[in-house]
Structure 1
Amino acid sequence: MPTQRSGSDRFRSGDDASGVTRRGFLTAAGAVGAAGATGVSAALSGCVGSVGSVAGAEDGSGEPVSVLAAGSLQLAFSEGLRAAVDRSLRVECHGSVTAARLVDEGKRDPDIVALADTALFDGPLATDWHAEFATNALVVAYDEESAAGRRVGEADRWFDPVLAGEATLGRTDPDLDPLGYRTLFALDLASEYYDRPGLRKALVEPRQVYPETSLLSRFETGDLDVAVVYRSMAVDRGYDHVELPAAVDLGDPSRADEYAAMRYDLPSGETVRGAPVAYGAVARRDDDRVAETFDALVAGDYLADHGFALPESYPEYSGDVPRGLRR
């Protein structure tokens, strides 16, 4: 029977006191949404805000460093990264596919881009290099405050109550972010692992597909009983969750060949393949203010405090890295 946890013993301990409550997260998300409403399409479901005092641009700390990031990095950057740097940051979050497109189409010009899938640096956002800086895994979050959520948490196979129509499952849009297509990969892998043919088709409900931030909001408010999320998101927000088998959760590097059998075609024409979850970042300007922030972003222990895994070899650099940025 899968293990249910509130948080993750594998990555950190004693985080109950510092975790974000559901009500606290909703309050914070509302504030960020209000701050970022101007000039950002609601369809993108992004979050925009200044991390640190924007007044820093006037007090000698220089112009704020702009960071375009995956939505699953929002809390880690707004809390941990802010504490790790001495200058102001301006952070905007979207699904990683959307973020890559915004840069590729010239609609955003950030100093740093941090995405939840390093494959996106090959397309749609083509870069000469990137740094791989964190890993993650998929889990199934459930609402223990609802009877339906408790059924999922207590089930031998988490998906049985969903198949029986006793619980509603939410997921993110695979055309907007890696969590969406990774969820489809995980369902196909689960179909093989549990010898349950057609599991993905049976579980996928087109009406319950949302942008990442909308998925969390609906889960937080009880509109959904179950949601497929990253382990870091469950740890950050204190969600009760089911740990998936390594053969399913896309979190085991030793199973890369098994994951690679999965694939998804993006609307832009690129094909993404299954792989262990890996986050990557690239600095788009080679100057001291950006380099210092980039160093803190990719090498900071703050990521472990937010549920991400940090292999000893990280950060790992690929491609032709500017000398001033590879420290």
Structure 2
Amino acid sequence: MPKQNTIFHYCLALAVTLLLVQPSLAADKEKLIIFHAGSLSVPFKKIEKQFEAQHPTIDVLREFGGSTKMARMISELGKPADIMASADYVVINKNLIPKFADVNIRFATNQMVLCYTDKSKYADEINSKNWTEILTKPDVVWGHSDPNLDPCGYRSLMVLQLAEKYYKKEGLYNTLIEQRKKQWVRPKSVELISLLQSGNMDYAWEYLSVAVQHNLKYVTLDNQINLSDYSHNDFYKNATVEVSGKKPGTTIERKGKSITYGITLLKNAPNPQAADMFLQYLLDPNGGMAVLKEMGQPPFIPARIASEEMKGKLSEGMQALVEVKN
């Protein structure tokens, strides 16, 4: 057989072997399943990439959406997951503890902003002083996410209630809600971004981090109404929103408070060891916390946990990254 043919057949055999081995290697990777809030999609994508580079035998699988919906997929539908991260730590307390999780780690904050683009009506006029007048104009389309599925949704309504009280504009909230059409409310806050960018929506309520990550224009609000500052919690609690409860036909009341993200390791986690490693990387000031800070989402360093008892349920590595703080 000519030498060239021998080399060709050798290369062909090697290529076939590699093709057969590659799927096997991928299949051998450990799976780490993370459910998380849609507003964490961009930072978690980067954190996933960095974590997998350090741990090449682990394959991070993320599913995201409204935090309440994600929690219910675990508690009501029995979906397997290792970690759940919520845009409102209260969702973890109400939906997952104590049956599905033991701990709730508060790791970041955020603030509400009103997003828009150059295509938005009155884009050249709107500011932090006149945004209420702009939103009430009959030709303006504005939206928010579903309060029953996504904390950003009920926080959007809270901002409107607080604005009425803070600016002393009686009837503002009801006027806006009556004007709002059903199709302006979407399951996830991140779905509103495409509507803004296409020009089908003028304004949308989002977290500051989402606005920064997607290069959106936005109106900043007074701290007394943007839910960013825990020192204003006494005023924030003037806002209340009813959302659907755990059982069909029931409701629960969400009361205004500063925005705090929470994360938990689930009791029946398929891969608890990998989950613990990911959480340690996320809470590392030079790891995931640095990514959050870079992307417009202030982290709590160290992260916070409610009690010594809860802290004691964490691994030693995790305990070094949290502090007990109410």
Q: Aligned equivalents of 2:24 and 2:263: distance in 1? A: 24
Q: Compared with structure 1, are the counterparts of its residues 194 and 99 closer, same or farther at alpha carbon in structure 2 (3 Å cutoff)?
A: same
Q: Aligned equivalents of 2:295 and 2:23: distance in 1? A: 26
Q: Compared with structure 1, are the counterparts of its residues 197 and 102 closer, same or farther at alpha carbon in structure 2 (3 Å cutoff)?
A: same
Q: Compared with structure 1, are the counterparts of its residues 179 and 146 closer, same or farther at alpha carbon in structure 2 (3 Å cutoff)?
A: closer
**CA offsets, 1:254-279, max 9 Å, x none?**
11111122222221133221110000
Alignment of 1:49-128 (within 5 A): 58=25, 62-85=29-52, 86=55, 87-126=58-97, 127-128=101-102
Which residue number corresponds to residue 171 of structure 2?
198
- Give the conservation status (yes or no) of the 8 Å contact 1:57–1:64: no
Which residue number corresponds to residue 263 of structure 2?
281
Pick one of 111, 117, 129 that aligns with 1:143: 117
Partner letter of residue 238 of structure 1? Answer: N
Which residue number corresponds to residue 323 of structure 2?
none
Quote the sequence identity (%).
26
Which residue number corresponds to residue 158 of structure 2?
185
Partner letter of residue 63 of structure 1? Answer: E
Q: Compared with structure 1, are the counterparts of its residues 133 and 57 closer, same or farther at alpha carbon in structure 2 (3 Å cutoff)?
A: farther
Q: CA deviation at 1:88?
A: 2.1
Structure 2: gaps spanning 5 or more residues: 1-21, 246-250, 321-326
Partner letter of residue 192 of structure 1? Answer: K
Pick one of 283, 290, 296 that aligns with 2:275: 290
2:299 is equivalent to residue 310 of structure 1: yes
Q: CA deviation at 1:187?
A: 0.4
**CA offsets, 1:175-203, max 9 Å, x none?**
11100100111001101111111111111
Q: Compared with structure 1, are the counterparts of its residues 125 and 224 closer, same or farther at alpha carbon in structure 2 (3 Å cutoff)?
A: same
**CA offsets, 1:87-146, max 9 Å, x none?**
321000010110111111133211000000011122123232111000000001111234
Pick one of 230, 234, 237 that aligns with 2:211: 234
Q: CA deviation at 1:64?
A: 2.2
Which residue number corresponds to residue 15 of structure 2?
none
Q: How many matched pairs?
A: 271
TM-score (norm 2): 0.77
TM-score (norm 1): 0.77
**CA offsets, 1:20-66, max 9 Å, x none?**
xxxxxxxxxxxxxxxxxxxxxxxxxxxxxxxxxxx899369841211
Which residue number corresponds to residue 172 of structure 1?
145
CA RMSD after TM alignment: 2.2
Q: CA deviation at 1:166?
A: 4.0
- Give the conservation status (yes or no) of the 8 Å contact 1:123–1:270: no
- Structure label with greater radius of gyration: 2
Q: Aligned equivalents of 2:174 and 2:217: distance in 1? A: 25
Query: What secondary structure, in the 3-state scheme, does the structure 2 residue paired with 1:159 have?
Result: helix
